[in-house]
């Protein structure tokens, strides 16, 4: 289980699966130190929580994330295999002030 606090790097992207399940993609920056570049996390949120994220969250908003990290792989048009990590959020916390 991974826990972190960070700020959104862009507005949330809400989409729906073919079965009409809401899914929201977040890009979260975690600041490590003043002189270091932030670490970026791809976060995916499902169901009602996904819809709430799209309503209340905007770029720059601070969020708390608790979830499982999953490794994803894909092949580019050029045939090159790439991988990335994505956090499947179980809990997203934020304040609306």
94 touches 65 (CB < 8 A): no
Domains of the chain, by residue range, sit at 2-93
pLDDT digits (tens, 9 = 90+) for 67-82: 999 999 999 999 999 9
pLDDT digits (tens, 9 = 90+) for 1-38: 999 999 999 999 999 999 999 999 999 999 887 788 99
**What whole-number distance in Å separates Cα of residue 74 and Cα of residue 18?**
21
Q: What would the two tokens of residue 35 be? A: 């002189």
Query: Rounded to two decimals, what is the model's pTM?
Result: 0.89
14-25 burial, b if ≥16 CB within 10 A, otherwise e? Answer: eeeeeeeebebb
pLDDT band, residue 97 (cuts 50/70/90): low
Name the class of domain 2-93.
mainly beta
The rounded Cα 93 to chain-centroid distance in angstroms is 12
């Amino acid at each position: 289980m991974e826990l972190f606090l960070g700020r959104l790097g862009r507005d949330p992207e809400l989409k729906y699966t073919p079965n009409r399940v809401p899914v929201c993609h977040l890009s979260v920056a975690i600041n490590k130190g003043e002189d270091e570049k932030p670490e970026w996390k791809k976060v995916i949120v499902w169901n009602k929580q996904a819809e709430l994220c799209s309503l209340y969250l905007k770029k720059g908003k601070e969020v708390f994330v608790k979830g499982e990290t999953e490794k994803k792989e894909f092949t580019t048009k050029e045939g090159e295999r790439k991988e990335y990590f994505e956090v499947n959020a179980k809990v997203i916390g934020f304040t609306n002030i």
